[in-house]
């Protein structure tokens, strides 16, 4: 299979109290198309920073990331954003749904931004796939945490991204609901061939992915 995500010498350093603080140091790894990778590590190990760099949401101090063969840091920020829009979907711990929009409208939004003429039909079908056929017209405040995360997953998958980046997608959910969400992500990963890159602190959930990458003090543990 082709490599779709590749980190090369990825380093992130910031100033803290006038002193340099290294968050990530010389991180190297690759992910093949259609694979599922869990990034594990203790709080403060650099997991979310790494995910942000892989997605081009933040810039490294040195090193680079290739997404689908493209060096994303050879682009300016606007070009990176367009590349992200074409390649990637995102699921966050905090759901990040728009509170004034229904579940259906939240899922329609990225399709409308892409100019899709069949946004309503595609959004409705994706919500049915994640088990929310009866909840499409509900606002986020009328949905449970697990239902809100299902809407967020539907919104991420509706544009059929090549890569899905998920940052602690079960962090705000109880264990049983979290397990259902991971099952759903992996099912969509298999059904659509979407590459899944997942940050989690939960080793049991991480083992459900094909591969695990462990971070400690900003470095990949061998």
> Tens of pLDDT along 91-145?
888 889 999 999 999 999 999 988 899 999 999 999 998 999 999 999 999 999 9
Domain extent listing, the chain? 3-220
Domain 3-220: CATH superfamily, name plus number:
P-loop containing nucleotide triphosphate hydrolases (3.40.50.300)
> What percent of the chain is modeled with pLDDT above 70?
100
φ, ψ (nearest 5 deg) of residue 45: -80, -10
Q: What size, in residues, is the chain?
A: 222
| CB atoms closer than 10 angstroms to residue 41 | 22
- Confidence class for position 16, pLDDT limits 50, 70, 90: confident
For residue 41, the SS3 value is: coil
Please say whether the beta carbons of 37 and 10 come within 8 A: no
pLDDT tens-digit readout, 141-172: 999 999 999 999 999 999 899 999 999 888 88
Report the mean per-residue pLDDT for the chain: 92
Residue 103 corresponds to which tokens in the numbers above? 């579940």
Residue 1 burial class via C-beta count within 10 angstroms: exposed 0-12, middle 13-18, buried 19 and up:
exposed
Please say whether the beta carbons of 28 and 9 come within 8 A: yes
- Confidence class for position 202, pLDDT limits 50, 70, 90: confident
pLDDT tens-digit readout, 42-57: 888 899 999 999 999 9
pLDDT greater than 80 at residue 222: no
Q: Which residues lie closer than 8 Å to 192 by C-beta, 6 or more apart? A: 157, 160
Residues forming a β-bridge with 196: 36, 164
pLDDT tens-digit readout, 76-101: 999 998 888 889 999 888 889 999 99
The C-alpha angle with vertex 91 and arms to 177 and 66, in degrees rounded to 5, equals: 135
For residue 161, the SS3 value is: coil
- Please spell the DSSP secondary structure of 145-168, one letter per residue: HHHHHHHHHHHHHTT--SEEEEES
Residues forming a β-bridge with 116: none
């Amino acid at each position: 299979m082709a490599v779709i995500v590749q980190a090369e010498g990825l380093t992130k350093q910031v100033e803290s109290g006038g002193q340099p603080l290294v968050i990530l140091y010389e991180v190297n790894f690759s992910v093949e198309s259609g694979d599922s990778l869990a990034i594990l590590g203790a709080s403060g190990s650099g997991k979310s920073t790494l995910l942000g760099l892989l997605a081009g949401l933040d810039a490294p101090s040195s090193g680079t990331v290739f997404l689908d063969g493209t060096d994303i840091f050879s682009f300016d920020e606007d070009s990176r954003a367009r590349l992200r829009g074409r390649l990637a979907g995102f699921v966050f711990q905090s759901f990040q749904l728009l509170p004034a929009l229904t579940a259906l409208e939240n899922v329609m939004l990225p399709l409308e931004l892409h100019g899709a003429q069949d946004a309503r039909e595609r959004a409705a079908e994706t919500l049915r796939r994640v088990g929310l056929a009866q909840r499409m017209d509900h606002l986020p405040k009328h949905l449970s945490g697990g239902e809100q995360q299902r809407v967020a997953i539907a919104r991420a998958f509706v544009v059929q991204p090549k890569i899905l980046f998920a940052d602690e997608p079960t962090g705000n959910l109880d264990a049983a609901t979290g397990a259902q969400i991971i099952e759903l992500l992996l099912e969509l990963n298999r059904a659509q061939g979407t590459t899944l890159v997942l940050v989690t602190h939960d080793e049991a959930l991480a083992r459900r992915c094909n591969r695990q990458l462990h971070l400690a003090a900003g470095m990949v543990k061998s």
